[in-house]
A and B are shown apart, each in its own frame.
Chain A
Amino acid sequence: MIFRAIAGLAIFWIAPLFAVQATAQDLIIENARLAYADDDSELVKISVTDGRITDVSPDLTAQDSTRRVDAAGNFVTPALMNSMTQLGLIELFSVNETRDSSGDEHDLGAAFDVQYGLNENSILVDIARQEGLGWAVTLPDGGNGKFTGLGAILHLRTDGSILHKSHAGLVFRSGEMTGGSRAAGWTALHDALSDGDAEAPVTEVLAGTVPLIITASRESDIAQAIAIREKYGIRIILIGGEEAWRLAPELAAADIPVVLVPHNHLPSSYDTIGVRADNAALLHEAGVSIAFCADSIFVSHNAGNAMRVGAGIATAYGLDRQAALDAMTRNPARIWGVEAGYGAIEAGKSADLVIWSGDPLEALTQPVAVYIAGEAVTNASRHQLLRETYLPETAR
């Protein structure tokens, strides 16, 4: 990893709040305010051993043998999870040589598997960590009306491979097309799921070991996704869902979680003309499990910050702030099946933690410190090195 080689340069950037001992295995974060505990609730001490949280308690007795970090009453949350990125698959959108996110040119369909193209040294990963992202789902993109392949779950740890789980889901893209009809896509999906001799990833979906990820925005496509769930009894995760609020009770009843862009309020495509800024709030109120991601230029390049600020914006449209935070931690942990090791600050979970400078949903807030699997994330990223090079005299 790039940041290992240049870690020395990062000293300049370490916030004065704490001292980093990069080799320490154990950690205690003191005076942590859990988000969103009541304002008058006690601060806690989070103990970490071998990369896992071992204790969360109000006991402030210091332990000499461990690295101690004073959170100074700041909010601490689990490192965030973004449920739809192309992290590790794209560096520059416009440079095809750096894109490995689509199998369209290879006619692999459902068999396209992003794990084989994953670039663990992507500079985007360093930046995502610094923005407080600890987990991400990385998915194939490609044309609508077909399977585009298998996604993966990334745990952005600094002490090993970031590939946590391949075959995280098989993606089927529905929705608007520039030629042909979306009806043909749904027909093809029914054919594939009904085929007694289905290809391997489809058999995994039918067996229930891999969820079917359906991208859908318009109400009619979301209704088709619900029908697929009812007919085949398979697990479905919906991505997009701009008009999902129109079918919120049905989605809740069908137990279909929705991954959405929390701040999306624009009719940016014909499929999303029915989008509402309170989509997330309406889905949450109806009992749908929601998880968040970012969109457009931000999908992977600002995968932490854009999603986090977007979640904050959703609270201006009625979403409870705890629900907004859960949609980046607890909910995706459950949706993607990693809740045994991630999603809450409690004993037994991976020590994926962020100390924030303020309310974690505010644009003015920044991470003060990020830990992934108990390791402090250094501040050395390409962004940070550029900013050091060009820091104005007045700020030196």
Chain B
Amino acid sequence: MKLNVLSSSAIAVFATAIAGCGETRPAPTLDAFESTYEPRPSPPYIIQNVTLLDGLGGEIAAANLLISDGKIAEFGADISAPEDAEIIDGTGRTLTPGIIDVHTHYGTASLPYAVGTPDHWDVNEASNPITPGVRIETAFNPQDPALFYALSGGVTTFQVLPGSRNAIGGLGVTMKNVPGLTAQSMKYPGAPYGLKMACGENPKAYSIESRAPYSRMGVVALQRQAWQDAQDYANDPNAPQDFGLDVLAAALRGEVKVHSHCYRADDMSVMMDMANEFGFEIAAFHHAVEAYKIPERLADEKVCSAVWSDWWGWKLEAFDGIPENAAFLHASDACVVMHSDVPALGGRLNIEVAKAVAAGRNAGVDISLPTALAWITSEPARLLGIEDETGSITIGKNADLVLWSGDPFSVTSRADLVFVDGALIYDRSDPDRQPRGDFMTGQPVMDPAP
């Protein structure tokens, strides 16, 4: 997607210069609710004799890997462990990067679901279909039990997005899956924000309450007007500060990743045209059940598809979903990411990959499992703009790692150990390293933890 680089950076320079005179609104920034995350202290670890899948398509048998200072210090066949390193026997087990989930509602659609009350639900700010100024991090409940199930399934990093009720739904946030008491204490330092947009049936559901938008036409018209307003705002340094327009203007400058919930191929096409018209980049279409119909355009425009393995048919715009979606996109050199959206999948994204690979093989698209592992590791890292720090087993990257009891694509395997920044956050054999959160405290589930 072509970003109108020249004009948007010129606008930014101009706006900054004017703002510096103190006559107009302050320089635009999205900084707020700063991250207070601190990596947990950790000793050096050496994992020995393990099958290593690097998240970039590579596989090394009988590998050793050294974690030091929270980073992946070294890996390969011959590594000498420092004397103070804790030794972990990886025999028969598999080491992968930590799983990264780009689409969750953790902490905002908190378990248990309760439909009779809004108490559990902070997903959509449904006061207006255009709410770019709202931030999901201001609603995040770190006691959501789903977080801990995701951790036990190997998820080390996740993005929380606003829901799809609004045509422009607000800012998401990327988080580290470590237990915390606040959103800020889990917020991934330096990760760019994501902006949620939505196509189709969900935003037009305002019509059920006799409010606009009533149709796809209305959804798109509202979105175009919002982007036009953002351009005008960026061009007018004297306009009063508007937090929502600050967000859209930042997206026009390429500083915010745009994530759009879209199912139908025609919806995605309209959205890509809109992005080109106003000069913002779409990072990914989420759900994208018809992405397999337009893989070439998605590849050309460098837009990712964040998909489920096989959901289909619960609504009209999902009617054409097929389980080969991910495999067909991959075969056409389009970017694929597997996402969860719901906790039931969030702890089992490895199995989602297995299902998608199986469907591809059945259709004659043979994708290796180490390659497909990228769909839940290195590719989502790139999509979230944190690929220099995490998402693959690469020397110098954060030691966000999962040690699986066996083949991670077998239903019989479990995550044995989960590391975030080199710290052991989850240990299947140690109840003291199985965080559950305060909501589940005293509830009628007896040990062992899930």
Contact = CB atoms under 8 A, between A and B. Distances in A.
Q: Do A and B interact with each other, yes or no?
A: yes
Interface of A: 91-95, 124, 177-179, 219, 243, 246, 263, 265-270, 272-277, 295-297, 301-302, 305-306, 309, 312-313, 315-316, 361-366, 383, 386-387, 390-392, 394-396
Contact of A362 (B344, B362, B411, B440): B411
A277 B450 contact: yes
Contacts of B354: 362-364
Contacts of B310: 302, 305-306
Given A266-B344, A275-B445, A386-B320, 5 more contacts: A178-B116, A267-B111, A267-B440, A273-B440, A309-B355
Interface in B296-333: 310-316, 319-320, 322-324, 328, 331-332
A316 B351 CA distance: 12
A328 B347 CA distance: 24
A95 B145 contact: no
Contacts of A243: 444
A250 to B, nearest CB: 16
Contacts of B322: 383, 386-387
B358 interface: yes
Nearest to A130: B362
B440 A392 contact: no
Interface of B: 111-117, 145-146, 149, 201, 292-293, 295, 310-316, 319-320, 322-324, 328, 331-332, 342-344, 347-348, 351, 354-355, 357-359, 361-365, 409-414, 440, 443-446, 450
A11 to B, nearest CB: 14
A34 to B, nearest CB: 20
A316 B355 CA distance: 17
A113 to B, nearest CB: 25
A92 B358 contact: no
Q: Name the residue among B320, B322, B331, B446 with the largest chain A CB count within 10 angstroms.
A: B322
Given A363-B358, A364-B358, A395 B363 contact: yes
A263 B450 CA distance: 11
Given A92-B315, A274-B445, A312-B411, A267 B112 contact: yes
B428 to A, nearest CB: 11
A324 to B, nearest CB: 10
Contacts of B414: 316
28 contacts: A91-B313, A92-B315, A92-B316, A93-B315, A94-B315, A124-B313, A178-B117, A266-B145, A266-B149, A267-B112, A267-B440, A268-B113, A276-B450, A297-B311, A297-B314, A305-B310, A305-B323, A316-B413, A362-B354, A363-B409, A364-B354, A383-B312, A387-B328, A387-B363, A390-B292, A391-B363, A392-B332, A392-B365
Contact of B351 (A94, A274, A309): A309
A44 B375 CA distance: 40
B284 to A, nearest CB: 20
B113 A95 contact: no
A264 to B, nearest CB: 8
Given A272-B112, A296-B344, A309-B411, A94 B314 contact: yes
A216 to B, nearest CB: 15
CB-CB nearest 8 A-B residue pairs:
A178-B116, A312-B411, A363-B354, A94-B315, A274-B444, A392-B331, A93-B314, A395-B364
Nearest to B343: A266
Nearest to A379: B362
Contacts of A366: 358-359, 361-362
Contacts of A219: 444
